[in-house]
Each structure stands twice: as structure tokens, then as C-alpha cells.
Amino acid sequence: MPARAWYSHELCFWHDPGSGAGYVPVGPGVEPLRQFAVDPDLRRAEGLVRAVGVMDHFTQVTPRPAKDDDLLLVHTSEHIERVEVASALGDGDAGVYARVNYHSAMAARLAVGACVEATSEVIAGTFDRAYCVVRPPGHHAEADRAMALCLYNNVAIAARAARRQGVGRVLVLDWDVHHGNGIQQAFYSDPDVLYVSVHQDGLFPPASGLVGEIGSGAGRGTTLNIPLPAGSGHEAYCAALRRLVEPAVRAFAPELVLVAAGVDASGHDPMGRMLCTSQTFHLMATALCELADELAGGRIVFVHEGGYSAWYQPTLVLAIACAVAGLPAPADPFLHSLAHLPGQQLQLHQRRVVEHLLTHHPLLTGT
Ligand code: ZN
């Protein structure tokens, strides 16, 4: 039995945020259009991983839906009720830009269930690594508010569940192109969970994920935001990883690594303005696995978040899967369209963000 686990569930792909232009629902001035956050696109990613034989390196696990006890680790009972009621009605918004259909409440419970179970089994040693390819995503969901396609905060709940299971220090690394405001909110004053977000500066939510947001109270220094300017590519992400993420994580010394592994920082994603390729995601995922091996007994769980390029998302998920399985980066039929853009090199204004954090963030300055 392969020691790497793949968690997914068919019902996660039945969640559908409805018709709209991009992320904007149909309404005044907005014509109906196929929503680009369509979850069957993620099923295609799983299909590619299987078709090229990489799924053979994983033990596939069908998760159980999370119980209220798990959801309540992060969310209020009123929030859970809102998601359940909106979903039971078959249509509507469970929060802010968080539309649901009849299957959404169960899909969201299965997404959380996958993350909690994967984390628990990795802690128990059943698996040494896991990849949860689930929807809906989670990192924007706050304690009492669904937001931007996110109903329950999958990764934050998994981190709390790990702490409940006795894990001392947890790293949550979030490389989704948007800022994970919900994860940050959950752990902003918690010194035992380091939240690191690499995201596009000023994208979403507005004024969230600034360099000065470093945690508060006992948690001062255990939030690290790396807001890279729009247009950042492979070398900017490498600089953030090597110069900021790796030293910060070594200073924190986590016992478990959770990765909010959205793929919407790719150069083909309609939601972001970054230039990452499959090689970027493979490199980052490999580096995080190596950090987990070095510091956390190899215990690492990847969780899918955003990803809106119907054609490129499968290759990006495959790249992460290859890294988790210890395989080289996969063939990428789209790489030629991104790899040689001049913007893939580190630009001066991007390097300034890295250098500012190197000289100001408590985890990196030791203050
Ligand atoms: Zn995103």
C-alpha cells in the first residue's frame, strides 16, 4: 500500500456555485455564463493524474463527512446553519460570493472530512503524506462568514484538529494567489500555528495580507504575509521560498505541515495575474516535503484551494501530485507559453518585498 494518500470524493465535484460571469453572479449588467469555478474541472485533474499512472503511487481514500464537532473548531453554529439552509433550498448565497447548490453542504462537509482525516492519519503514521483534492475551497471562510467560494475553512479546521490530537506546532503554508484571510483570522493570536501566505498583493480580499500583518499578542510573529506584486513569476516565488519561507519555517520548527495548495497563481489563471508554471508548483511542493522531512518527521498534508484555468489546472495538480509522490516534474504541454516570458525573472520591485520582510519580520530578524 503506497504511503501517500489521495483524498477525494465524487460529491465534492457536484458542488456548483451557479451561473455567472467570472466570479460575479448573474444580475444587473451581468449575462449568464458558465462559472469558471466549476468543480467538474477538478475531476479532470484527477483524471489526468490517473491517466499518466501517477495515481498508482497513492492510496486512494474516500473521506467521511465532517461532523459538527469538527466544523465548530473554527466556525459558529449559526454559520453552519446558514450553509445547511442555503444548500437545502438548492440555491442562494451562504455568505459573500459564496453561492451554493443542493449538494454544497455535503460537499463542504466532505472537504473538511477529507482534510481532518488525512491530517489525523498522517499524524498517526498510517500515511507519511496526503493530498486532498477537494472542493469547495476554504481559506477565505471566516468563523461566522462564508466568503468567495469558501464555505468551511478546510485547512484551519485541520490545523485545529491536529492541535486537538496533541500536535504542538503546526505550519500552514498558503500559496493560493489570494490571501487566506480566514486562516489568518483563526490563528492571528495563536503562537502554536505559523500561517505563511504567498499571494498577489492587493488582489483579494482588499487590504488583506499586508506585510505589517504579523500576528498579535502571543501570536506576534507567527503570521508571515508575502504579498508579491502582480506579474511575479517563477524566480520571484523561488526567492520568497528560499529567502523567507524556509528560514521562517526553520525558526518556527513545526511538527506538522499543512499546505493550502491553490493553483490560481499560474500564468493561465483568470483570477490572478501571476506567472507560475507547473515547474513552480512542483518546486514549491518538493521544497515543502523536504522541510517536513527535515523538521516534522515528514508529516505533510496538501489541500487544494483555488484554481480556475480549465485547461491548465489538471497539469498543475499533476505537478503537485508528482512532488508528493517523490517523482520528477511532469511533462507540461503548456510550459512553452509561460516559461520563457521575461517576467519569470526576479524583478527589482519584487525583490524589495523580500528584502523588506527579511529586515522587518520578527521570525526573520529574531526580534
Ligand atoms: Zn484563490
Question: Which residue(s) pair with 99 in the sheet?
Answer: 93
CB contact at 8 A, 41 and 33: no
Helix (H, G, I), strand (E, B) or coil at 49: helix
User: In angstroms, rounded to a whole number, what is the distance separating the alpha carbons of residues 38 and 17?
Assistant: 7
Residue 23: the pLDDT is 79
Q: How many angstroms does the Cα of residue 346 sit away from the middle of ligand 1?
A: 22
Show which residues are catalytic.
Answer: 140
Q: How many angstroms does the Cα of residue 166 sit away from the middle of ligand 1?
A: 30
In terms of CATH, what superfamily is 4-365? Histone deacetylase domain (3.40.800.20)
Angle at 254 between CA 168 and CA 321, to 5 degrees: 120
Q: How many angstroms does the Cα of residue 269 sit away from the middle of ligand 1?
A: 10
Q: How many angstroms does the Cα of residue 366 sit away from the middle of ligand 1?
A: 31
For the record, the C-alpha cell of 87 comes out as 444548500
Residue 364: the pLDDT is 97
Q: Give the predicted TM-score (pTM) of the model.
A: 0.98
- Below-50 pLDDT ranges, the chain: none
Q: How many angstroms does the Cα of residue 26 sit away from the middle of ligand 1?
A: 21
CB contact at 8 A, 122 and 299: yes
Residue 39: the pLDDT is 64
Residue 182: the pLDDT is 98
Q: How many angstroms does the Cα of residue 13 sit away from the middle of ligand 1?
A: 17
User: In angstroms, rounded to a whole number, what is the distance separating the alpha carbons of residues 299 and 292?
Assistant: 6
Q: How many angstroms does the Cα of residue 255 sit away from the middle of ligand 1?
A: 26
Q: What are 127-138's pLDDT values in tens digits?
A: 999 999 999 999
